[in-house]
Structure 1
Amino acid sequence: MKSIFYWIMLIPFLVFSQNQENNNEEYLIVGTTIFSAKNDKAKEFSEGMKNHNEQFHAEGAMGVRIFTIMNGQNAYDYMAVMGPMPWSALDESYPNQEAHDEDWNTNVVPYLDNEDEVTYWRFHNNFSNFPTNFEMSKLRVTIWDITRGKYETMISKLEKVTKVLKEKSSETPFGIYTNEFSSTQSGQDLSVVYFFDDFAWLGKDQKLKEKFNEVYGSGSFDTFVEEWMDITNGASQEVWIYNQSLSGIGPQVTTSTQD
């Protein structure tokens, strides 16, 4: 694993408010990467990852969360999530680099089948809804491919839909992220993440159309969908499950978008 990624996995979850993007403070990013274990080395991989995180990423600035991907082309792979953090955090040094790297290379790398998709996402706290203190459990992650030249239009659409979600579904945590280094090849430009506890939530009609029309008027949702389709080139969805046994830190999130 590249040294820079070693480092950013050590950054803790930060506490911030909705005012962050309205002043001179740095915006925050989240880093993600995918790991897959060799088919015949799953046990060794799990033991190595568990011990590594318990030793180097179990508290404070060294905290790491691991998720198991439930579906799609990355099913049964693992997603490491770190942040949020400002870019300037990468300018700081951190302790135990040598011991950390030696343990990783000795006890985890030999059992890795693949490590790819390192992505840095800008967190838009003004569009997101994180209640004060909630616990990670399951995530529904939707990645959108946005048409070139339509970023500002996308932002204006996000303002409308997140207003509806905050007003009509305030009990549901969600996060909005944009790719800091998007490419036309990957098609990973916008990430919309819902946080939920029970799989039954996936089977419930969230009645977004009805709620949208309540806020903006009859027929407004259909118009929104047409406009959204004009600025997007499709999407993909995954469900991630918080993996307690492999994570360095627990499910409690101290991040909040509330003032």
Structure 2
Amino acid sequence: MKTKKISSVVLIACLISLYGFAQESNTDYQMASIVFIDAKIGHEKDFESKVIEHNNKFHNEAPNKGYLDQVISGKNAGTYVWVMGPCTFTDLENMNPGDGHEEHWDTEVVPLIKGYGAQEYWRFNEKLSYYPNPVVNRKFANLWLIDLKRGDYYRFKTLMGKIAEAYEKKGTGNMRVYDNQFNADDGRDVVIIWDMENMAELDIMDPIKPAYEEVNGEGSWDTMLEEWEEITLKIDSQLWRVNITK
């Protein structure tokens, strides 16, 4: 009974902090709004062309800048991902892409769509990322969608902080971490993204282990891997085409 009472107090405190002071807003972050879309079979190129046209007309600058990606591995291969960002929830609330926006999507893009999938909001975690030099000509991305054990996010955060320090020590490569803003109980809690200019980069061996152990001590890599296994339930590794422009 005492434990339940303490839990209730913590929950109430959290709710007060979230909603009791709604007049105070925080927009000092970057987020990506994404929606999964299946194009009609045989009309994929037409779909790409029309979405690119739509982005150029109505989503050509932040915070309303639009991108088109596509999953090209795994069970969701072929599915497109329409991305908008970097943005905040305030930006989404105040979005005004201009006259003709809805009409263009409904008349030019919708006829080429087979169906919509999930809508998700991913917040960039700058502290856990290493991205000093954005990959300007990025064409592909390797994504790890991670299902964390409940209550172990704090351990994940500590591990990723150490890995980010190792990347900084090494001084090469890139790694972006995003937190899913809504828990759909689908194993998509956090995502790690490595950007690439071409798929050939997947054949390049550039291990982070030496830099990690230089920062954290000899044998620390194996210790990290053991803890990683303890806190993760599964990883869905995917390859995406990104920033499709033609």
Higher RCO, 1 vs 2 (CA within 8 Å, ≥6 residues apart): 1
**More deviation, 26-35/189-198:** 26-35
Equivalent residue in structure 1 for 2:164, among 151, 162, 165: 162
Question: Who is 1:67 aligned against?
Answer: 69
Gap regions ≥5 residues in structure 2: 1-25
Q: Cα RMSD between the aligned structures?
A: 2.1
The letter for the 1-side match of 2:174 is: P
Distance in 1 between residues matched to 2:221 and 2:133, nearest whole Å: 30
What is the TM-score when the length of structure 1 is the normalising length?
0.77
Distance in 2 between residues matched to 1:122 and 1:54, nearest whole Å: 24
Q: How has the CA–CA distance of structure 1 residues 134 and 45 changed in structure 2, closer, same or farther, with 3 Å as cutoff?
A: closer
> For 1:201-220, what aligned pairs fall within 5 Å after superposition?
201-220=201-220
Larger Rg: 2
Offset from partner CA, 1:87-143 (integer Å, 9 cap, x none): 22233241425x211111111112111221211111111222223554132211111
Runs of 4+ in 1 over 6 A off after TM superposition: none
1:39 partner SS: coil
> For 1:100-115, what aligned pairs fall within 5 Å after superposition?
100-115=101-116
Distance in 2 between residues matched to 1:37 and 1:50, nearest whole Å: 14
Equivalent residue in structure 2 for 1:152, among 140, 151, 154: 154
Gap regions ≥5 residues in structure 1: 1-23, 247-259
1:74 partner SS: coil
> For 1:109-258, what aligned pairs fall within 5 Å after superposition?
109-132=110-133, 134-135=135-136, 136-168=138-170, 170-184=171-185, 186-245=186-245
Query: How far off its partner does 1:52 sit?
Result: 2.1
Distance in 1 between residues matched to 2:68 and 2:151, nearest whole Å: 34
Q: Tell me if structure 1 keeps the 8 A contact 2:63–2:87.
A: no
Distance in 1 between residues matched to 2:39 and 2:140, nearest whole Å: 21
Distance in 1 between residues matched to 2:59 and 2:90, nearest whole Å: 20
Distance in 1 between residues matched to 2:230 and 2:45, nearest whole Å: 46
Q: How has the CA–CA distance of structure 1 residues 208 and 61 changed in structure 2, closer, same or farther, with 3 Å as cutoff?
A: closer
Offset from partner CA, 1:180-210 (integer Å, 9 cap, x none): 10232x1000100111223222122222223
Question: Who is 1:38 aligned against?
Answer: 40
Q: How many residues align?
A: 220
Determine what percentage of the aligned residue pairs are the same residue: 28
Q: How has the CA–CA distance of structure 1 residues 159 and 93 changed in structure 2, closer, same or farther, with 3 Å as cutoff?
A: closer
Distance in 1 between residues matched to 2:114 and 2:200, nearest whole Å: 33
Query: How far off its partner does 1:243 sit?
Result: 4.3
Offset from partner CA, 1:39-71 (integer Å, 9 cap, x none): 133344234323322322234554211122221
**More deviation, 150-159/43-52:** 43-52
Distance in 2 between residues matched to 1:167 and 1:53, nearest whole Å: 38
Q: How has the CA–CA distance of structure 1 residues 205 and 103 changed in structure 2, closer, same or farther, with 3 Å as cutoff?
A: same
Q: How has the CA–CA distance of structure 1 residues 82 and 47 changed in structure 2, closer, same or farther, with 3 Å as cutoff?
A: closer
The letter for the 1-side match of 2:205 is: D
Q: How has the CA–CA distance of structure 1 residues 148 and 59 changed in structure 2, closer, same or farther, with 3 Å as cutoff?
A: closer
2:211 partner SS: helix
Q: Tell me if structure 2 keeps the 8 A contact 1:28–1:87.
A: no
2:120 partner SS: strand
What is the TM-score when the length of structure 2 is the normalising length?
0.81
Q: Tell me if structure 1 keeps the 8 A contact 2:64–2:85.
A: no
Does residue 29 of structure 1 match 2:31? Answer: yes
